[in-house]
C-alpha cells in the first residue's frame, strides 16, 4: 500500500520544529531521529520522522540558509470552536510567527498554516447567497478568524 507523507526541508531546525508541532497537537509524537556527526563531532539531527494527530511527516535538515517555505503549500487545521482557533493561532505565531489574513499565518519556521473553524465553510455555503457574501466579506477583513463576527455578518 502506498502512503503519501509530507516532507519538509528545513535549514537546521527540523528537530526543533518537529518537537514544537508534536507538543501542540493531540495524538502526536516523534517517531525517529536519524543523526549524523558534524565536523565538530556533534551529533545533529539529519532526518526527523514525526506524527501530527496521527499523520506522518518527515523533516530534513538540508542546506543551511538556502531553503525557504512559501505559501504555495500550507497545512489546514480544522477547529471545532473559537477556543481551539485561538489556542492554535496563538501557539503558532508565538516566538516570531507572522499573522496573515483569512486565517493564514506563518510559524517561526516559515511554514504556512490555515487555522479554520469548522463554522467557516458552513457559513460560506449558506443558501442565502447575500448572507454568505456578508460572511465572505467579513472573513476577508480578518487575520485570525472570529466565529462570532462571522455569525454577526451572516445575520446582517
The model's pLDDT over 11-21, given as tens digits with 9 standing for 90+, comes to 889 999 999 99
For residue 118, give every residue at least 6 positions away whose Cβ sits within 8 Å of its Cβ, in sequence order, or none.
Answer: 78, 79, 80
Mind listing the pLDDT tens digit for each residue in 93-141? 999 999 999 999 999 999 999 999 999 999 999 999 999 999 999 999 9
Prediction pTM value: 0.91
Cβ contact 94:88 at 8 Å: no
To the nearest whole number, what is the mean pLDDT of the chain?
Answer: 93
Chain mean position to CA 73: 10
At 54 the pLDDT is 93
At 148, is the secondary structure helix, strand, or coil? helix
Question: Which H helix or E strand runs over 48?
Answer: strand 43-52
For residue 4, give every residue at least 6 positions away whose Cβ sits within 8 Å of its Cβ, in sequence order, or none.
Answer: none
Alpha carbon separation from 27 to 24, 45, 123, 155 (Å, rounded): 10, 23, 29, 37
**Integer Cα distance of 3 and 6 in angstroms:** 10
3-state helix, strand, coil in the chain (%, to 5): 30, 30, 40
Identify the structural domains of the chain with CATH numbers, from first to last.
1-67 (3.10.180.10), 69-156 (3.10.180.10)
Amino acid at each position: 500500500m502506498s502512503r503519501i507523507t509530507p516532507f519538509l526541508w528545513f535549514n537546521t531546525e527540523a528537530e526543533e520544529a518537529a518537537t514544537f508541532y508534536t507538543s501542540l497537537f493531540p495524538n502526536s509524537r516523534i517517531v525517529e531521529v536519524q543523526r549524523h556527526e558534524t565536523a565538530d563531532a556533534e551529533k545533529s539531527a539529519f532526518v526527523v520522522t514525526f506524527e501530527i494527530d496521527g499523520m506522518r511527516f518527515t523533516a530534513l535538515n538540508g542546506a543551511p540558509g538556502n531553503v525557504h517555505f512559501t505559501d504555495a503549500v500550507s497545512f489546514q487545521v480544522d477547529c471545532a470552536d473559537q477556543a481551539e482557533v485561538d489556542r492554535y493561532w496563538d501557539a503558532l505565531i508565538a516566538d516570531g510567527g507572522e499573522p496573515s489574513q483569512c486565517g493564514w499565518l506563518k510559524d517561526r519556521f516559515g511554514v504556512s498554516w490555515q487555522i479554520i473553524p469548522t463554522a467557516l465553510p458552513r457559513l460560506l455555503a449558506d443558501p442565502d447567497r447575500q448572507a454568505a457574501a456578508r460572511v465572505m466579506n467579513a472573513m476577508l477583513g480578518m487575520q485570525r478568524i472570529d466565529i462570532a463576527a462571522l455569525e454577526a455578518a451572516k445575520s446582517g
